[in-house]
Structure 1
Amino acid sequence: MTETVQIEESDSWLEAFEALEHAEKDSPTWLIPFRKAGLAQYAKTGLPTLRDEDWRFTNIDPIRKTAFRPTFAPDILEAAMLDGIPYPFKTGNAARLVFLDGHFQRELSDMSKLPQNVTCISMRDAVAREELRLDQHLGQYTYHHDNPFAALNAAFFQDGFYLNIPKNLQLETPLHIIHLSSGNDAQASFARFFIRAGEFSKCTILESHHALSEGIYLNAPTTEFVVENEANIEHIKIQDESKQAFHLASVYAQVGRAAQFHSHYLNMGGRISRNNIRTKLNGEGLECVLNGLYLADGEQLSDNHMIVDHSKPHCDSHEYFNGILDDKARGVFHGRILVQQIAQKTDAKQTNKNLLLSNDATADTKPQLEIYADDVKCTHGATIGQLDDEAIYYLRTRGVPKAVAQQMLVHAFAGEIIDRIHHDLIREELDEMVWTRLEKFAHFQNVTTT
């Protein structure tokens, strides 16, 4: 019996899915129902509106009104185009994976610096390798029912990468994933990333998204992390899309006993951007840290939505997100800490702070605690404001000009997040990126105070 999916005729995704089925007719048999399930879930929920509680601060009507089309035939990226990336990272001997519009660029990637026992291959190759048994792992850690963009990714992904770090391997070489968007003709990219860190392993993963033009496009990647017992992952994600782009990313992490998962987010580009982050803390004695810095000006909207699910006792989680907003930009933070009844001795902290550089900038913040255990230590807090007059006065009494004092305080506010990154070279490079981005803010030279 053939499964059918009911979507309104006006929805261009159905037509695109039919084209994908034709283009990917030689896909493994398990992948067909996987994709159809994603499309069916999207058909059930559709794109969210302001009536949806989880989206009430984020109006995605511009996405709804644009007929995006997935890219089926990947273009070939020339090496010279990499020179145009605004911020080439100084990660020394980092391994490199390059993607264009969601498709792997083999010729521009360099995995030679990775040990031979590390499996790092394109997702297109991974789904074809039966021994990897992706049919039993892909999508097992995602939640499509409340995330239509993750559902669309399940339906339309064609490429991405699969990374498996074996037990006990301490990777000294960072892995840099560079995702470039051509920005042509309202294209939609749905890259899929799957990362497993074996027991006692360690790695640093840098993920950066850049635009090659100022066009309108949609980038909706999904990343699944499986962090096994006593593994250690530091993940840094930079979003530097076109000012006309839409970036809707989904990140899911399953974290094991005594593991460490640190994930950092720097959002600078995009007309509308959102990180949907969901972590399940599935072993005792682990640590999960989520940090974020969002910089927005003009009429940008930057949204961070996360759920941290404490499902085992004796776990620590910490979320620190800062926003710097100028002009008519809007920042959104919605964080939820869920502590299951079994998760006694939980230690969870959640903080969101927003710095408004103009009177027209806005921030909406909603930190939440949902606790079913009675022996826990959980705190949350949120602030929205402008620069502290007393701090400016203190600096001025020591001979610092007012404009310089303001810039120092804004930079220090950003540094509260950047300084939490462990990898020295990446942290230094991101600090430069943040300063360069702030210099483009209209009110950075003359910050409003109250």
Structure 2
Amino acid sequence: MTNVNYFKDQFSALQASDPNELLTGIRKENFDTFSRSGLPTLRQEEWKYTNISSLFDKDYEFAGDGKISPSLLSSLEEMRIEGYQEANELVFLNGRYAPSLSAIRSPETQLIVLPLEEAIDSKYKALVAMHLGQSSSYIKDGIHALNTSFIQGGLFLYIPKGQQLQHPVYIYHLSDAGQHHTLSQPRSLVYVEAQAKFQLAETYRTIGSCEGFTNEVMEIVVEADAFVEYYKIQNDGSNAHQTNTTHIRQMEKSHVHTVVLSLNGGMVRNNLNLVMDARGNETHLYGLSLLRGKTHVDNHTMIDNKMPDCYSNQLYKSVADDASTSIFSGRIIVQPDAQKTNAYQSSKNILLSELASINAKPQLEIFADDVKCSHGCTVGQLDEEALYYLRARGIPKENAEILLLHAFAADIVDQIKLEPLQKHTEKLIYEHLSVS
């Protein structure tokens, strides 16, 4: 059975089995979009360097809830992030939120965690109806629509007003590709009330020798004077492919801080959107890709400045070795009403192999006249003078290169404000760079 026919059959079955009025309407609208658009191809400008449609030459299936095997539990244990004892641990199994595998350590006065379907049937229904699917206004391609077509087993997080969340939220995405090629489609909606502080980290693991594809959408809504830290760690196998969309709306003056770290994987596409809907918003976006083998990572960021006096700063770094590929496309939009916007963007890259490739595309779209905006991009190799300096002091070449790469990565790692996560990240980077 082809993927298209399989998706049609699964869509019809889902609509019949889950007739929730809100979800069935959203699903149908997006499945119509998917049917018209299909999967993105290289002919589309936003996808010119990443051919995910080629991955669907294989027949992917949605994995059922399945049994919790010892191997799944072992993999879940292995992927836990340092500091997990003091964190809320939420697990997605094959793209569906699994409450039985999750551990919520914050009291309900600080954090509300619900399956998305339960949130729709609760006092949060109006809030979900208002914000679920807003990312479709900015990302209109078929792969995003495919996720929204199959919203099922999603997650709803609500941080009440004024809560300074003591326990961060760790989300583990575990996919079982042991029996067949598996398509997982996690969906989350996060609402951060006024004056709240929230820290969230995500990581991924695919088990089995078949291909795994994770097509994730997370929508985060941030209210007045709230502070949100968002971290993503990608360190999966070469048979694990991803498209990730994180869509953050700053509804009132607030602060957002994000770090995306990519080490290992197959073909990975990250969409990170920031919509500044109020005066005085501030956001910081950081990214680090340390790639080897045939890993392909495509980072797309978009910041839409809609109101005046907003500030944003982006710094994305990448290192490409072997036959890996690193792509960065950063888009800053300054709308006509967004006077006195300050927006800065920088992409810094190191190419270590003739077979590796790096493509960087910083973009500014400015429709206001009283702004400060800049962008820059560099692509080079390791500093030969620094390398010579280290080797002259008896450090072997391989170790000297590792030291320089650690130094290159340090100012991104330093932006991880959650101390246990920073230690966890430093350990992963050390292990990654130390593999010969």
Given the alignment of the two structures, is residue 123 of structure 1 paired with residue 116 of structure 2, yes or no?
yes
3-state SS of the aligned residue for 2:134?
A: coil
CA gap of 1:255–1:9, structure 2 versus 1, over 3 A, is closer
**Overall identity of the aligned pairs, in %:** 33
Cross-structure match for 1:135: 129
Q: Sort the Cα spacing of 1:335 and 1:9 in 2 relative to 1 into closer, same or farther, 3 A.
A: closer
Give the match for residue 420 of structure 1: 415
- Offset at residue 11 of structure 1 (A): 4.8
Give, as a single letter, the amino acid of the residue that structure 1 aligns with 2:175: S
Q: 1:87 to 1:187 in 2, by over 3 A?
A: closer
* Corresponding residue for residue 54 of structure 1: 46
Aligned to 1:445: none
Q: 1:94 matched to which residue of 2?
A: 87
Contact 1:114/1:173 (<8 A) preserved: no
The alpha-carbon deviation at position 219 of structure 1 amounts to 0.5
1:313 corresponding residue in structure 2:
308
Task: Look up the match of 2:184.
Answer: 189
Alignment match of 1:179 (pick from 173, 177, 181): 173
Contact 2:87–2:105 (CA under 8 A) maintained in structure 1 = no
1:370 aligns with 2:365: yes
Once the 2 structures are TM-superposed, how far is the Cα of residue 141 of structure 1 from its aligned partner? 4.0
Q: Distance in 2 between matches of 1:279 and 1:131?
A: 23
Encode CA deviations 1:165-210: one digit per residue, 9 max, x unaligned: 1111110111111110111411211111111111110011111111
Structure 2, unaligned runs of 5 or more? none
The residue identity in structure 2 corresponding to 1:20 is L
Q: Is the 8 A contact 1:290 1:320 kept in 2?
A: yes
Give secondary structure in 2 for the equivalent of 1:84: helix
| Structure 1 residue 395, shift from structure 2 partner | 2.7
What secondary structure, in the 3-state scheme, does the structure 2 residue paired with 1:44 have? helix
Letter in 2 for 1:104: Y
Q: CA deviation at 1:126?
A: 2.2
Contact 1:87/1:433 (<8 A) preserved: no
CA shift at 1:432, angstroms? 0.7
Distance in 2, Cα, partners of 1:360 & 1:221: 30
Q: Distance in 2 between matches of 1:159 and 1:10?
A: 22
Cα deviation for residue 127 of structure 1 reads: 3.0
Q: Mean Cα displacement is larger for which, 62-71 or 343-352?
A: 62-71
Classify 1:300/1:80 alpha carbon distance in 2 versus 1 (closer, same or farther; 3 Å).
closer
Structure 1 residue 84 corresponds to structure 2 residue 75? yes
**Alignment TM-score, normalising by the size of structure 1:** 0.91
Count of residues in Structure 1 that have an aligned counterpart in Structure 2:
431
Match among 196, 211, 222 for residue 201 of structure 1? 196
Aligned with 2:37 (options 20, 37, 45): 45
Helix, strand or coil: the match of 1:17?
A: helix
Q: Deviations over 1:293-312 (max 9, x none)?
A: 12222222110111110111
Aligned match of 1:154 in 115, 124, 148? Answer: 148
Question: Mind listing any 5+ residue stretches in structure 1 that lack a counterpart?
Answer: 1-7, 443-450
Q: Deviations over 1:76-134 (max 9, x none)?
A: 43577444354421124101111110122222211133443521112232233364332
Q: Residues 413 and 214 from structure 1, CA distance in 2 versus in 1: closer, same or farther, beyond 3 angstroms?
A: farther
> How far off its partner does 1:398 sit?
4.3
Of residues 383, 388, 392, the one that matches 1:393 is 388
In 1: Cα distance, 2:81 partner to 2:124 partner: 34
Instruction: Give the superposition deviation at 1:402.
Output: 2.9
Check 1:398–1:284 CA distance in 2 against 1; reply closer, same or farther (3 A cut). farther
Q: Residue 353 of structure 1 aligns with which residue?
A: 348
Which of 359-368 and 255-264 deviates more? 255-264
Partner of 1:66: 58
How many Å apart are 1:15 and its aligned residue?
2.4
Normalised to the residue count of structure 2, the TM-score between the two structures is: 0.93
- Distance in 1 of aligned mates of 2:13 and 2:18: 13
Structure 1 residue 400 displacement after superposition: 3.4
Residue 435 (structure 1) aligns with: 430
- The residue type equivalent to 1:170 in the other structure is Q
Contact preservation (8 Å) 2:136, 2:145: no
Q: Judging changes above 3 Å, is the alpha-carbon distance between structure 1 residues 267 and 347 closer, same or farther for their aligned structure 2 residues?
A: same
Q: Which residue of 92, 97, 102 maps to 1:104?
A: 97
CA contact (8 A) 2:346 2:377 kept: yes
8 A Cα contact 1:70 1:156, kept in partner: no
**Per-residue deviation, 1:33:** 1.4
The alpha carbon displacement at 1:144 in A equals 6.4
Helix, strand or coil: the match of 1:414? helix
CA distance in 2, matches of 1:10, 1:399: 59
Quick check: 2:241–2:266 contact (8 Å CA) kept in 1? yes
SS in 1 for 2:21: coil
CA distance in 2, matches of 1:366, 1:216: 30
Which one has a larger percent helix, Structure 1 or Structure 2? 2
Corresponding residue of 1:28: 20
Alpha-carbon spacing, 1:342–1:319, altered in 2? closer, same or farther (3 Å): same
**2:313 counterpart of 1:327:** no
Code of the aligned partner of 1:179: H
Letter in 1 for 2:151: F
Contact 1:39 1:151 in 2 (8 A): yes
**AA matched with 2:287:** G
CA deviation profile, 1:231-285 (whole Å, cap 9, x unmatched):
0000111122331122001111101333111111112232110011211111122
Maintained 8 Å contact 2:402/2:434? no
Counterpart for residue 292 of structure 1: 287
Q: Would you say the 8 A contact 1:256–1:284 is kept in 2? A: no
1:385-407 deviation per Cα after TM superposition (whole angstroms, max 9, x unaligned): 21010121233344433332211
Is the 8 Å Cα contact of residues 110 and 165 (structure 2) preserved in structure 1?
no
**Counterpart amino acid of 2:408?**
F
Say which is worse superposed, 143-152 or 187-196, in terms of deviation.
143-152
* 2-structure distance, mates of 1:237, 1:32: 30
Residue 401 of structure 2 is aligned to residue 406 of structure 1: yes
Q: 1:162 to 1:17 in 2, by over 3 A?
A: same
Q: Which residue matches 2:259?
A: 264
Deviations 1:307-329 (A, max 9, x none): 11011111111111111211111
Write the distance in 2 (CA, Å) between the matches of 1:386 and 1:66: 37
SS at match of 2:177: coil
Letter in 2 for 1:12: Y
Structure 2 residue matching 1:16: 3-state secondary structure: helix
